[in-house]
Structure 1
Amino acid sequence: MHHLPRRPRVGHAAHCSAVRRLNLWGGKRCLQKRYPSQRPSLSGILIFMDEALSVIQGAITSIINWTPSQLLKEIILVGDFSSNGELKAYLDEIKLYNQESPGLLKIIRHTERKVLAAARDTSREVAMADVVAILDAHVEVNVGWAEPILVQIQKDSTVVVSPVFDNILFDTFKLDKYALAVDRFNWERWCHYDSLPKAWIDLHDVTAPVNPSIMGILASNRLFLGEIGSLDGGMLTYGGENVELRLRVWQCSGRVKVLPCSRVAHLERHHKPYSLDLSIPLKHNATRAAEIWMGEKDMVYMAWNIPLQNSGIDFGDVSSRMALQKKLKCKTFDWYLKNVYPVLKPIHSTAGYGRMKNPLDESVCLDQGAIPGNMIMYYCHQYSSQNVYYHPAGEVYVGPLIAETDIDDCCLTHPGKGEKPTLEPCSKAVKNRLHIHWDFKLGRAVLNRTTKRCLETKRDTSGGYMFALQTCTTQVWTLQYTVGNWGQTNAQ
């Protein structure tokens, strides 16, 4: 029989663990904050698929231990058609928690796999509290996690909030404390951390909410989340649904904030249960969000190296989401870029993009290489180190499409002497008077406008390839996709 704690209060082991974590993240200023006595009620929602029963149990226990009992209306478990035999046999025993708090724990079992976004939507529909906190089941909440969430949403029901994440290592269960940071996303819609904005630092208040940001797990006013369309059930598996929600909230008159005083520790997973290959759902999710919410959708397609026309990506039926956008009178993506996220830069002048190769050997492609500045030819693959973007002004960018206004793309340069081309940050290349402008038409030579030397490749002694900047021969280059009429043979 599995041991299930029946008392919804702190046991000795749980107390020691939480205090250790509290000391680690050093939230003294947060613990000194005082909150109004009247606060909204909370539904804690745990989504799981093939989790270990002990992990789910730990999440439940932490929510009970560290949420004021008068605020915690319910904990809803949503099982997304797990195959784990332990969950099938013993999950219902978790309801022993209800012996001391009747009705506290509810279990929803899907009879077919609905994946993350749809599972989250199911839970929001059955929740009864004022505020829903939609979490993964592999988390443990920390001391005082709920109060900042509830007070923030009580002040403004259109704010969707996220805690600050810490990481629990799966093999040692050691807590890896994460510093407070802003979560950004790039044109591929990957999330990454960035430094805190100066406006927040100037507040001199380490407990102040930070915006804009991205939520992975989130809390929201239950009714507001329903009004703006909840989670997009058309998203596959997971990955990118948080960016889609962020765009929708901001564009449809809400806001997104991260709360420094709300800390949730996320247990990293040794394996991903939903899919071994996430490339298909990630492309689906990225293009789906781009079609609905991003006027600069071409940037997403180019970043993923997907053709702008006849992409072959089935992003599903978006008609209901477009109708929602119209109903809510949502603002444009251009407004979002100017007013919420100005660090994201669109590029409007791309003539061609994709993998770049020449007929000498079409199994190898131009590649950014592992050593900064040292471009190589490498066997063609799908990763972004082989992305190439040609601009009519003459710049050739090599490598991932840079999203941020304060970071440079890598420009192909002719240093002016020697035979070896380099990759340099574009602004640095201009400052150092390197030659970054090239004449190139599809299926023709790549000619530096200043030096009149061509970019070519030749075999080296090891059987690989090396670059040569030399007087043009008959060597020509191709680029995978074209924009507008650049790729047409009669284009000037």
Structure 2
Amino acid sequence: CQLGDEELVDWQDHTFIRLDKQKKGPGERGAPLTDADRSPSCYTGYGYNYCASDRISVTRSVNDIRHPECATEKYLRKLPTVSVIFPFYNEHLQTLLRSVHSIVNRSPKELLKEVLLVDDTSQYPNLHGPLDEYIQKEFTKVRVIRAQKREGLIRARLLGAREAKGEVLIFLDSHIEANYNWLPPLLDPIARDWKTVTCPMIDVVDTDHFGYRQQDLGARGAFDWAFNYKRLPRLRSDQKTPTKPFENPVMAGGLFAIHKEWFWKLGGYDPGLEVWGGEQYEISFKIWQCGGRILDAPCSRVGHVFKKFNSAGGAFNLLKNYKRVAEVWMDEYKPFLYKGLGAGGLDVGDLTEQHALREQLQCKPFKWFLKNVAFDLEKYYPSVPPQSFAKGPITSLGCDKCLQGEKFSMHPQIRPSLVRCQTNPVPGSQQMHLGWKREIRIANEDWGCLDLAGHVGASVLLYGCHSAGSTQQWKYDLDKKQIVHHDTRACLEVNSDCQLVRTARCDDTSAFQQWDFAWKNETAIRKLWNYSGSIFDVIS
């Protein structure tokens, strides 16, 4: 197959994939360890279940969860070489080695120039001598770079980038597993345009049992005005070609490929950013505003362990990083961020070099980014959020008690409860909002939203607030006092003993389906009930 003078070829190692899928043992083919020990000690120091990880081979096979058409995709024969950079600090050794093996084993040898492990002054003994001995014995293209002092994730990446010899830099976290043929889909767009940056689809390696599963079919990265990472739906035009790369306003974080010359032309990361946090916004904004673009590559998939906790960084450093990014790249929109963060008066240090870089590269204004790249951000995450339809405690008229929620965690089995109405309930919250996205959120979006992803009669859960689909959308019937779920048309109900909050078929005579908000915008609520247009038309 020819593309002009460039030949397109099948880069897959079919023999390796076939043999890999024949492996047997714990966790092979991405299977979960259902009998894994989940005692608290198995998570200490790592934020994931290292007891499960220890039982799985460092060269385990994964389940091929790519779109079926990815198996027939062809890419340019002439692709650039890569340096894969793994920063790590006190990582679990078995998990780190599995990350490295997955890259070495599932990358075409002629494309993989090197793998660089950047040790940010780890304290665990097995990450020194034993790690060095293992690498010397098992690998020829892997080397360790050790920082002289604690640098943090961002500057550790810079340290690795300065040492890199490949034409393209690929930054990855140190607790990942690459899927089959992950590399060519990332490199092909860069080979065609050196200012293109590519990201893989990020799958999930389960924190508890290390099962490998697909997260979803992809979405476009975004943010709200407190710099919480959010996602926008893929465009309909992109959905028609599920294997083709699509434009992404903001990358998710530390998994991406960039031409080395383009990375340094952009100044790399701002070295004034501390530890971690905000760097994905800085690199994303400067890529787009300074003449490049970001693409997500659906046929490149990398599994990632999402930790239960990450104690590094701290709130002060995070706020400082956010404000440094905003001061340089967000122009007249930065006050909206500062209002959401409460960071307006924070001193973030000298930004002379960052402003000079923007001027030198003649980068576009942030308004251009919002209009041309993240053009639907305001629709989903407006800089000035509309007022809630209703807010305050929600009282069950059948039980004379209030709905109360706990803060959402990564375990989505937390249910709202019904308790005695209180002014300042502890440890949960009775402060509810029927928000402008039709969600019922607890306290604020960080706490979570009422979610019903099941059938009529299913229990209502607390889940992270999102805008994907309509499982978290509700309406309030002022006359019948009923809270109605968008998807199922079922009503929010409490059972007769006033304990379980669930949904049921709407019954106008049941007091257990009647609720009242402490405050309501009755005019907006009535307009919303039968309205299907823009939510802003209802609010205004």
In the superposition, the TM-score normalised over structure 1's length comes to: 0.68
1:121: which partner in 2?
158
1:284: which partner in 2?
320
Residue 39 in structure 1 maps to residue 101 in structure 2? no
The correspondence of residues 190-229 of structure 1 with structure 2, limited to 5 A, is 190-201=228-239, 204-212=240-248, 213-216=250-253, 217-229=255-267
Report if the CA contact (8 A) 2:79-2:191 is conserved: yes
Q: Deviations over 1:335-371 (max 9, x none)?
A: 1111111222387889xxxxxx9xxxxxxxxxx9758
For residue 224 of structure 1, report the CA deviation from its aligned partner.
Answer: 0.4
Report if the CA contact (8 A) 2:65-2:213 is conserved: no
- Separation in 1, partners of 2:365, 2:374: 13
Residue 161 in structure 1 maps to residue 194 in structure 2? no
Secondary structure of 2:177's counterpart equals strand
Residue 140 in structure 1 maps to residue 140 in structure 2? no
- What amino acid is the match of 1:56? L
- Separation in 1, partners of 2:186, 2:85: 14
Which of the residues 94, 97, 103 maps onto 1:57?
Answer: 97
- Separation in 1, partners of 2:229, 2:174: 21
Distance 1:403 1:251, change over 3 A: farther
Which of the residues 126, 135, 149 maps onto 1:95?
Answer: 135
Residue 110 in structure 1 maps to residue 150 in structure 2? no
Which of the residues 259, 273, 288 maps onto 1:250?
Answer: 288
In the superposition, the TM-score normalised over structure 2's length comes to: 0.63
1:72: which partner in 2?
112
Distance 1:162 1:320, change over 3 A: same
Secondary structure of 1:285's counterpart equals helix
Distance 1:211 1:146, change over 3 A: same
Listed as ranges, the gaps of 5+ residues in structure 1 are 1-8, 351-356, 358-367, 390-397, 434-492
Report if the CA contact (8 A) 1:22-1:142 is conserved: yes
Distance 1:144 1:15, change over 3 A: farther
Residue 294 in structure 1 maps to residue 330 in structure 2? yes
1:455: which partner in 2?
none
Q: Deviations over 1:290-331 (max 9, x none)?
A: 111112011111112x164xx2x3323222111111111111
Report if the CA contact (8 A) 1:43-1:132 is conserved: yes
For residue 288 of structure 1, report the CA deviation from its aligned partner.
Answer: 1.6
Secondary structure of 1:45's counterpart equals strand
Distance 1:349 1:80, change over 3 A: closer
Which of the residues 207, 218, 224 maps onto 1:186?
Answer: 224
- Over the matched positions of the two proteins, sequence identity in percent amounts to 26
Residue 236 in structure 1 maps to residue 274 in structure 2? yes
- Separation in 1, partners of 2:526, 2:353: 47
1:267: which partner in 2?
305
Which of the residues 364, 368, 380 maps onto 1:335?
Answer: 368
- What amino acid is the match of 1:108? I
Secondary structure of 1:274's counterpart equals coil
Secondary structure of 2:244's counterpart equals coil
Listed as ranges, the gaps of 5+ residues in structure 2 are 1-15, 32-60, 386-391, 393-402, 406-415, 436-442, 447-464, 482-515, 531-540
Report if the CA contact (8 A) 2:30-2:212 is conserved: no
Report if the CA contact (8 A) 1:49-1:273 is conserved: no
Distance 1:22 1:34, change over 3 A: farther
2:519: which partner in 1?
422
Report if the CA contact (8 A) 1:63-1:141 is conserved: yes
2:167: which partner in 1?
130
Further displaced range: 264-273 or 10-19: 10-19
- What amino acid is the match of 1:260? P
Report if the CA contact (8 A) 1:117-1:236 is conserved: yes
Report if the CA contact (8 A) 1:148-1:262 is conserved: yes
Report if the CA contact (8 A) 2:319-2:343 is conserved: no
Report if the CA contact (8 A) 2:64-2:180 is conserved: no
Report if the CA contact (8 A) 1:131-1:221 is conserved: yes
Further displaced range: 333-342 or 208-217: 208-217
- What amino acid is the match of 1:132? L
- What amino acid is the match of 1:37? R
- What amino acid is the match of 1:52? H
**Bigger radius of gyration:** 1
1:28: which partner in 2?
68
Q: Deviations over 1:233-267 (max 9, x none)?
A: 22222222112211111111110111000000112
- Separation in 1, partners of 2:65, 2:122: 34
Q: Deviations over 1:160-181 (max 9, x none)?
A: 1110011112331111311122
